[in-house]
Amino acid sequence: MYQATLSRRSYRFSDLRQLMAKASPARSGDYLAEVAADSAEERMAARIALAEVPLKTFLQQLLVPYEQDEVTRLIIDSHDALDFAPISHLTVGDFRDWLLSEQADSAMLAQVATGITPEMAAAVSKLMRNQDLILVAKKCRVITRFRNTIGLPGHLSVRLQPNHPTDSLQGIAASMLDGLLYGSGDAVVGINPASDSLPLLEKLNYMLDDVIQRFAIPTQSCVLTHVTNTLRLIERGAPVDLVFQSIAGTEAANRGFGINLALLAEAQQAALSLNRGTLGNNVMYFETGQGSCLSSNAHHGVDQQTCEARAYAVARHFSPLLINTVVGFIGPEYLYDGKQIIRAGLEDHFCGKLLGLPLGCDVCYTNHAEADQDDMDTLLTLLGTAGLTFLIGVPGADDIMLNYQSTSFHDALYIRELLGLKHAPEFADWLTKMHITDDLGRLRDTAANHPLLLALQGERP
């Protein structure tokens, strides 16, 4: 039992699960799950009580039972007590103060990352203002490598997302080359296929690999199909760079995705066996989003933001090259408007970085949400200042296959110019070599006989 008194009224919370849920900022998904605070006053009382909870409590009072959930078992069994030691004496409120102090610099945050559980990260985020989430995330340094180096301070990468509603190879190639000519693609060239046809998925892999190899682009490709399809593609000898999978924060929700930890481990080993990376061996790419556990009725009464943080434990176990929260994609049932989407994006980025993950964000919304592109501009700007690892680049910010609004190649240009952010260094060198950017990283005018344009016309330079 936890309690706090506010305005002469005593509020009681039956267990840690309820306390965490009631302390969460208001969002539609928690109201849908009937776990949210009934009032702003109750929410504040829950935060006051949560601030007094020792961090050690999260290792003892588990929100999802150990016996029922392999994600919980992963969190507890992989917890590093030695790395936890420097902060083990703190309460959640003390932890917030420590994170904001000068003592918690980049080196110290990296040292304690594996000692922090997702529930600890989620708990402290509930006590933080937006500026706190930004400031701490900015101090976190997470660097990964496959064919280039992602996550360096002062850098921002872009996933080039050339989706097409019929998986037209020509249409995908046009969007891909368009993005490259705008300097996008250093995180990954990643296609969300409309089909699960294995022969078509294989063609997409070969097409992406052909462009990357022909022009010696220091990047990686990914066809974002189910992990079982990727395993079959590897068995067929397809040129797979990264293994993709959507993941969630409970075993039951992951079962709804048709996955478990053993399957992800099998896929990771299969990708590693190909030895396609030139600079590193981070071969996994994950996507998450608040609300996935609730949408599959697999949240165990845990609030959606804490469930989201638990998904990061799954990702962390497999040392991904990339992981991003598709923050506004699930819809207004979970994040109702621009305010909720902005807050969720900052929370996800903070929690992922604090746990040692290369967290990116699909700054996005669905057309039936109470949000617009101005809200996305705000979130993009805030995440850019927070040290976002990568964002999404879609032609015109309008994904014509998935039917949602994201960020464009031009948005990436905006945030790079505003904050002086650079491409992945190997990719930046390639852009200069290909006369796409000048020596200062600025876009150059592209002549009609540029090799990439000739390739689009089916001509070899």
Pick from 204, 258, 180, 187: which is nearest to 424 by CA? Answer: 187
pLDDT-based confidence at residue 89 (cuts at 50, 70, 90): very high
232 annotated binding-site participant: no
192 annotated binding-site participant: yes
Residue 147: predicted pLDDT: 98
Percent of the chain with pLDDT over 70: 98
| The pLDDT of residue 448 is above 80 | no
Please compute the mean of the pLDDT values over residues 155-164 and round it to a whole number: 97
161 annotated binding-site participant: yes
12 annotated binding-site participant: no
| The pLDDT of residue 461 is above 70 | no
362 annotated binding-site participant: yes
pLDDT-based confidence at residue 460 (cuts at 50, 70, 90): very low
Residue 456: predicted pLDDT: 66
287 annotated binding-site participant: yes
434 annotated binding-site participant: no
pLDDT tens digits, one per residue of 339-391: 999 999 999 999 999 999 999 999 999 999 999 999 999 999 999 999 999 99
pLDDT tens digits, one per residue of 232-285: 999 999 999 999 999 999 999 999 999 999 999 999 999 999 999 999 999 999
Please compute the mean of the pLDDT values over residues 320-326 and round it to a whole number: 98
Please compute the mean of the pLDDT values over residues 424-438 and round it to a whole number: 95
| The pLDDT of residue 14 is above 90 | yes
> Residue 276 is encoded by which pair of tokens?
């396609």
pLDDT tens digits, one per residue of 98-151: 999 999 999 999 999 999 999 999 999 999 999 999 999 999 999 999 999 999
159 annotated binding-site participant: yes
pLDDT tens digits, one per residue of 272-319: 999 999 999 999 999 999 999 999 999 999 999 999 999 999 999 999
Topology (CATH level 3) of domain 2-139 = Annexin V; domain 1 (1.10.220)
Residue 347: predicted pLDDT: 98
Instruction: For the chain, give the mean pLDDT.
Output: 96
Q: Which one is the CATH code of 144-434: 3.90.1150.10, 3.20.20.70, 3.30.365.10, 3.30.420.40? A: 3.20.20.70
239 annotated binding-site participant: no
305 annotated binding-site participant: no
Domain with CATH 1.10.220.70 in the chain: 2-139
Please compute the mean of the pLDDT values over residues 15-21 and round it to a whole number: 98
pLDDT-based confidence at residue 458 (cuts at 50, 70, 90): low
